[in-house]
Each structure stands twice: as C-alpha cells, then as structure tokens.
Amino acid sequence: MLEVRDPKPKSGGGRATSDEEMKRSLRVLLIASAAGLAGYLTWDRIEVHRLHGAIAAIAARGEPVDRSSFEQAPSGAREQETAQLYADAASRARDLVQQDGRLTRIDVDGVVGRVDVGEIESTFRKDSPPLQLLDRATPLPFVGFGSAIEDDPSFSTQWLEALSALGCLRGDLFAYRGDGDAAAASLAAAVRVQRALPDVFRKSVAANRQLGSLRILLRHAPPSAEALERLQAAFAEMPDDDLIEHEMLMRRATMIETQEDWLSPRGISGVAALALHPFLVRRLRVQIDQFPEALAASRTRWPDKIGVMSALAFWPYTARTPLGEIVFGPIPNIAAMSSSVNQAASRLAARRLAVTTLAIERYRRVHNGALPPDLAALVPALMPAVPIDPFSGQPLIFQPSAADYLLYSVDANRRDDGGQIYGIGSLNPMPLPRVRDFGIRVPLVARAVKN
C-alpha cells in the first residue's frame, strides 16, 4: 500500500523556531542595552573625572575654588560693629521703602513744579533710623558682613542699594534747603555704601545715582572747600578698577562650590537630572573651561574690552567636532555673559566724573571762581592724573562756557553726542532715545531754591 503523507508541516516545530528567534533577539537587545548603559555610565564617569581635573588645575594655579576665598569676615570689634550697623541700616531702609516705594526714585529737580519739596519732606525724615545707622557706619572700617546677616533670612543687597539712594535723597533735600555742607556729608555717606555692595551691577546703579546727587548739590548749594575735599576723598576711596576679573573669579568659585545646584537645575526632576547627568556635568565643565578666555578678555584695555567681552557673550562656545555640534549644540559663555562690562565702565566713568568735578570745584575755590584751562591743570595738586573715559579710551570731555561747564563721558554708544547728558538724580532708568552722553553740567553761579 502507498503511504499517504500530510502535506502540511506540523506547527510545533515552526513555533519552536519562532521562539528561538525571539529569545535570540531579546538577548541581543539586552546585551546592546547593557552595553549602551555601561557606555553611558562610563561616559558619565569620564565627564566627572574631567570636571574634577579642571577644578584641580584651577586650584593648582592658586586660583580660588570656593567662596570663602572672597568672604572677609570682620576680625575686630570695630569691623564687626560696621557690619552690624550696615545690616541693621539696610533692614530699616527696606521697611521705609516698603512703606513708600517712591523714596528711592524721587528726582528732586524733576518733581519741583509738580510736587512741593515740603511734601517730599513730610514723608521722608532726614533723621530716619536707617540714616542714623548709616552715619554711624560710614566712618568705620568695613571688610565684609561675616555673621552679621546670618540671623536675617530676608536680608538682600538690594536694600543696601536702597540705603544708598535714601542717603542721596537726604543730600538732595539738604541742597535744596541751601545747606551744602550737610548735603556733601550725606552724599559722602551714601558713596561709602558701595563698599558693602556685592557686585559690579549694583555698584554701578548706586554710582550713577550718586553722580546725580552731586549734580544737584553743585547746582543749588556748593559746599565749603573743606566739605568738597572730604567728598572728593569719599569718591576717590572707591576702587579705580572695573572689578570684572575679580567678579568672574568669584562667580567661577561659586559655580564650583555649588556644583549640585548646576547639576540639578530648577524645574527638572531628580530622575531627569540623574538621566541627564553626563550632559549636565559636561555643560558645567565646558562653562568652567570658558573662564580663562573670558578672564583674558577682562584684562584687555578700555575701550577694546567692551567689544571683546561682548563678542564672547554673543558668540557662545560650540563643540569642536561636527558630531559634538549636533549632539551638544552651543553652550553659552556664562563668564562673559554675566560680566556686566557696560555697567563696569559706567561705574568707572561715574567715579572719575565725580572725582574730577570736585577737583574742578576745589580749583575754583582758590582761583576766585575761575575754571581751569584744561584738566591737566588739576594734576597733581587736586588729582593724580587726567582721567580716562573707559568708553572711549580718551580723556573725559571738559567743555567750559561763560555760564557753566560740562564734563562728560561718551557713554555706551561710544560716540560723542555733543554733551547731551541725561539724568538729574534718581534710580529711574535712562529715558529713550538712548543717544545721550553721560556726565554733569555745573553752573558757575548756584541756582538758589525758594524754601
């Protein structure tokens, strides 16, 4: 007999083959995943190692890697007293400004005709508690706050800025009432608050406000020769340095000390931070590695420094390879972006304008009111050298006339706009259009104000 065979294969063997293939694929996938995870973890360790190596190299150069290198604690009783007085004064200034937010922005010359000075004085006591504390603090040596602010979690440097503005406002009101010496003393106290301000930006805001108050003082109640000399000394005490390099070193030290904050950014979950850890570590390392270039740029002479620093800020670091460019993209140069280069130049310009203006006024006191023929005539008796405008790299511009004189910097557009200066004396922002120069116009005969 012939044997009849079933033409259809049994399904069991095919299913076994399919299962084997699936298991084989799964094994390959697991091996690939394990290899990928091992590679990812290895990359993470490499990035951590490279970050630690970059930090070690900074320390080996003797450069700071923690904030304690910059924090000078009061070492003696007088320094501790100064720190506590400034902290208490700033706290009281906060309370006063929160009651009336106009106080730091009142432009006395700007409001006359619309607001009576007496109305301002009714809401602002020239003997207010923060200013009494300020007057006690400013003659004392100051190096830092130390533990003076540890018990006040609400302490903020913006209240020190407000304290300086209140001192300026007090000086403006004294000038309006014709008491030039009291106005000069109040302005000198406000100037010394700059010692306690932590960064270039806040120092610049305060310095510009103080130059406005100097303008009001000399316009309405020029002080005695002795008061002028003391006020010039207060402005000259402020460093004739842009402070950019110091601030960048401090910022890098802060980044290093607070690595965990950079590796767990706000708004990202712990799981996401862990998953992205090598990317975040690399980003932090690259940003730290960018500092030498930015530090070198900070040592460029004015005004070239403005262009060099701005170029670094607006042209972020990119990966050195096409693959790196695709994977990582550009990484912003934090060092250059946060350097406040224009604010640093503005603070320097304000300081030099103030010192030079007061030197001119002192010259006039001993020359029967006559102006110096040029700024060189003030050297060396009244100041050490002819001051340079950081925005131009040229001497500050001095323009005398029969009725007044003008001293100015070309300001951030780095162009001489003919002495179109702005600002009277407040923390209000510069109005548009921003095609102005930055300086001070002083009348040869003070303009009396009716009480």
- Residues 121 and 209 occupy one common structural domain: yes
**Is residue 15 included in any domain, yes or no?**
no
pLDDT, residue 187, reads: 97
Give the pLDDT of residue 6: 56
45, 57, 50, 46: which is closest to 286 by C-alpha?
50
Q: Which two tokens stand for residue 388?
A: 């340079």
What digits encode the pLDDT tens for the residues 264-295? 777 677 778 788 888 888 888 988 998 999 99
Residue 332 tokens read as: 């912003």
Distances (CA, A) of 443 to 302, 356, 361: 31, 15, 11
Q: How many domains does the chain have?
A: 2
Contacts of 367 (CB under 8 A, 6+ apart): none
The DSSP code for 70 is T
Would you say residue 46 lies in a domain? Answer: no
Residue 5 resides in a domain? no
Nearest to 94 by CA among 3, 41, 155, 22: 155
Where is average pLDDT lowest: 73-82, 162-171, 354-363, 386-395?
A: 73-82
158 and 169 part of one domain: yes
pLDDT for res 8: 55
- CA distance linking residue 347 with residue 204, whole number of Å: 4
- Please tell me the least confidently modeled range out of 142-146, 149-153, 370-374, 424-428: 424-428
Question: Cis link prior to 433 (omega < 30° from 0)?
Answer: yes
Please tell me the predicted confidence (pLDDT) of residue 279. 86
Q: Quick one: residue 388, left, alpha or beta (phi over 0 = left, psi -120 to 50 = alpha)?
A: beta
pLDDT digits (tens, 9 = 90+) for 427-444: 666 666 666 899 999 999
Both 177 and 313 in one domain: the answer is no
Which is more confident, 115 or 252? 252
Partners of 404 in beta bridges: 443
DSSP letters of 169-209?
HHHHHHHHTT-HHHHHHHHHHHHHGGGG--SHHHHHHHHHH
Are both 288 and 405 inside the same structural domain? no
pTM, two decimals, is: 0.86
Same domain, 300 and 357: no
Is residue 287 located within the same domain as residue 221? Answer: no
Task: Output the furthest CA–CA distance in the chain (Å, rounded).
Answer: 145
Domain termination residue (choose one: 281, 316, 341): 341
Domain-terminating residue out of 308, 341, 374? 341
| Domain boundary, last residue among 287, 309, 341 | 341
C-alpha–C-alpha distance, residues 251 and 66, integer Å: 9
In a domain? residue 131 = yes
The position carrying tokens 């003696």 is: 76
Residue 353 sits in the same domain as residue 291: no
State the Cα–Cα distance between residues 44 and 38, nearest whole angstrom. Answer: 10
Residue 235 counted as domain residue: yes
Answer whether residue 100 is part of any domain.
yes
pLDDT at 357: 98
- Angle at 68 (CA atoms; ends 64, 70), nearest 5 degrees: 70
Q: Which residues contact 281 (CB under 8 A, 6 or more apart)?
A: 44, 47, 48, 51, 263
Q: How confident is the model at residue 378 (pLDDT cuts 50, 70, 90)?
A: very high
The whole-number pLDDT of residue 404 equals 95
Q: What is the mean pLDDT of the chain?
A: 86
Alpha helices (H) along 100-178? 108-111, 117-123, 129-137, 157-176
Can you give the residue range of the structural domain that contains 432? 77-244+342-443
* Residue 410 and residue 388 share a domain: yes
Residue with the bigger pLDDT between 12 and 271: it is 271
Lowest mean pLDDT among 196-205, 228-237, 255-264, 341-350: 255-264
Q: How far apart are CA 228 and CA 239, in angstroms?
A: 19
Residue 319 has pLDDT above 50, yes or no: no
Query: Confidence class of residue 325 from pLDDT cuts 50, 70 and 90?
Result: low
Alpha carbon separation from 298 to 249, 253, 301, 349 (Å, rounded): 11, 17, 8, 17
β-partners of residue 408 are: 397, 439
Q: Rounded distance, CA 363 to CA 422, Å?
A: 25
Residues 6+ apart with CB under 8 A from 67: 250, 253, 254, 257
Same domain for 367 and 357? yes
pLDDT digits (tens, 9 = 90+) for 24-59: 888 888 888 888 888 888 988 999 999 999 999 999
Say if residue 322's pLDDT is above 70.
no
User: What is the model's pLDDT at position 430?
Assistant: 63
- What phi and psi values does residue 141 have, to the nearest 5 degrees? -70, 140
Q: Same domain for 305 and 410?
A: no
Q: What is the pLDDT of residues 79-119, one digit of tens each?
A: 999 999 999 999 999 998 888 888 888 888 776 555 577 77
Counts for the chain of helices (H) and strands (E), in that order: 18, 3
Total residue count of the chain as it appears in this document? 451
* pLDDT (mean) for 149-163: 83
Confirm whether 183 is domain-assigned: yes
Same domain, 264 and 306: yes
Where are the alpha helices (H) located in 290-396, listed in sequence order?
291-298, 304-314, 322-328, 334-337, 341-366
Examine residue 21 and state whether it is found in any structural domain, yes or no: no
Percent of the chain with pLDDT strictly greater than 70: 88
Examine the domain organization and report whether 207 and 275 are in the same domain.
no
